[in-house]
Amino acid sequence: MFDYNTRAAKFKFQGEVIVPGDKSIAHRAITFGALADGVTQISNFSYSDDLAVTTKIFKELGAKIHTEMSNNDMIIKGVSHQFKPLDHPLDIDNVGTLESLLLGVLTTSNNEYTINGGDFLKKRSIDRLVVLLQQMGANFQKLSADYLPIKMHGSEELEGITYQQDISSAQIKSGLVMAGIYAKTPTTIIRKLPTRDHTEVLANYFGADVDAKPDIITINPKHTHLTGQSLMIPGDFSSAAPYIAGALLSKGSEIRLPKVGLNSTRIGLLNVAQQMGANIILESHSINSVEPYGDLVIKSKKLHGTTVTAKQVPFIVDEIPLIALLASQAEGQTVIEGVHDVHLQLSDRIRNMRVELAKLGIIMQVNDDSIVINGEQSIKVKDDVDSHNDHRIAMMLCVASILTETSFKIKNIESIDISYPNFLADFKKVLVACD
């Protein structure tokens, strides 16, 4: 475990940062590339702890994967839906996205697999997805009192189901899409609210037939034959988010973020910031790629409070800590509504965010279905803080550190390596001490 001592000065952002390739898209690109027939070439692939686990898992299942670290390229020779049987467990560590994708993928195989995970995933419920996959024809057996490890035996004779969403979960939806594309009959997901759509986008790009509408998704499995593709992964919006928030909050800042992914289901923070009066310029917007991207220019701006509606919440799940920080420094009150589903999926993140911001003198009210944050709160360091091994909280605390002249320690800073190993180096490069 590593700690990080912040500097006893206020800073602003000046310059340009190229953020790593989008992790959410990369997980899915590896999955589809490994599952498909033929070769998949991925450019702007950025290695991180999470993606190293996903790569390892699909290598174990038989895919040939080569990574060119010098130019961030990856080449995958897929298995054409013929995964290897294994005599050892697949250890997915604490990679939640991989858990959902893998459960869906392996449901379509006649082989038996055991999936194990780290301490976090062992305590996180997968019951909703498991029940749905059982309804399609897979068998699961718990091997301990925890949710993982679990033994599963899939089937090549899966039947599609109709699922009326009870929570707005992109991960549950992704697991069903992965299973549904190889079922014998269509699978229908009746949405509670729209969520991230990377799985549907890439499924269709690789050759599946997923009809995604705002209120309903239909996975049509007939004649599915996934084939290898070439794609460029845009910059990760969630990795760009700390710079966006920091530049808005630190007076005199101006920063440029080239080729950031602008998928409409991922840029919830951008929309919330603009509701709060943010000055953000979009340049060089590309809409002809698999996933849209563009250059963002952010300048500091005094923000005002806003109401974040329940419909917006699925698009800010990664950025809630940063939005809480933005709200605490804005004029007036900010209310984030409809967070009940997020509570179910990310209860630790919300609780830990509140605890750690309180150590910096920032208070908020967290209810079962809303978060209320009063603005213009002064940052008053009362104690050192802890990431709780949550990379999103760690990066938010780094942003908070540039807004105060009081230094403090961020414990377990290495959690950032999960998604953005070079974050601290990139962060420091664009910091300029305030006059």
Selected catalytic residue, list 236, 318, 341, 426: 318
Q: Is 415 annotated as a binding residue?
A: no
Q: What 3 state SS string does the chain have?
A: CCEEECCCCCEEEEEECCCCECHHHHHHHHHHHHHCECEEEEECCCCCHHHHHHHHHHHHCCCEEEEECCCCEEEEECCCCCCCCCCCCEECCCCHHHHHHHHHHHCCCCCEEEEECCHHHHCCCCHHHHHHHHHHCCEEEECCCCCCCEEEECCCCCCCCEEECCCCCHHHHHHHHHHHCCCCCCEEEECCCCCCCHHHHHHHHCCCEEEECCCEEEEECCCCCCECCEEECCECHHHHHHHHHHHHHCCCCEEEEEEEECCCCCCHHHHHHHHCCCEEEEEEEECCCCCCEEEEEEECCCCECCEECCCCHHHCCCCHHHHHHHHHHCECEEEEECCHHHHHHHHHHHHHHHHHHHCCCCCCEECCCEEEEECCCCCCCCCCEECCCCHHHHHHHHHHHCCCCCCCEEECHHHHHHCCCCHHHHHHHCEEECC
Residues in the chain, how many? 435
Q: Do the annotations mark residue 24 as ligand-binding?
A: yes
Cβ atoms 175, 28 nearer than 8 A = no
Q: Which amino acid is at 83?
A: F
196 in a labelled binding site: no
392 in a known ligand binding site: yes
Is position 318 annotated as part of the catalytic site? yes
Integer Cα distance of 256 and 244 in angstroms:
9
Instruction: Evaluate the CA torsion angle 91, 97, 98, 104 in order and state its sign.
Output: positive
Confirm whether residue 345 is marked as ligand binding. yes
Would you say 215 is a known binding-site residue?
no
d(CA 332, CA 377): 10
Mark the binding-site residues, compressed into ranges.
23-24, 28, 96, 124, 169, 171, 318, 345, 349, 392
Q: Which residues are catalytically annotated?
A: 318
Mark the binding-site residues for phosphoenolpyruvate, compressed into ranges.
23, 96, 124, 171, 349, 392
Mark the binding-site residues for 3-phosphoshikimate, compressed into ranges.
23-24, 28, 169, 171, 318, 345
